[in-house]
Amino acid sequence: MKSIQKLTLCAVATTLLLGLSACSGMSARDKSTAVGAGIGAVGGAVLTGGSTAGTIGGAAVGGVIGHEIKK
């Protein structure tokens, strides 16, 4: 079961990275927010063993940090 979770996490991360490559019309601040949210989501999922709350929490925290970095 752990290998399925790891495979799912890798698939989500890959999809996220490919999706971000289509964001050419975004400002630098918007891109930082999106990248921060993606990295936070992956980090939250890894740290909490793939729980939904950890993934969403990580995405929220990462998005805020990414947004504040480009101020």
Amino acid 23: pLDDT: 67
Band (pLDDT 50/70/90 cuts) for residue 1 is: low
Q: Is 80 exceeded by the pLDDT of residue 21? A: no
Amino acid 71: pLDDT: 67
Please state, in angstroms and rounded to a whole number, the distance separating the CA atoms of residues 68 and 44. Answer: 19
What residue ranges do the domains of the chain occupy?
Answer: 2-69
Amino acid 65: pLDDT: 92
Amino acid 20: pLDDT: 66
- Over residues 22-67, the pLDDT tens digits come to 666 788 888 888 888 988 988 888 888 888 888 889 999 999 998 9
Please state, in angstroms and rounded to a whole number, the distance separating the CA atoms of residues 44 and 71. Answer: 24
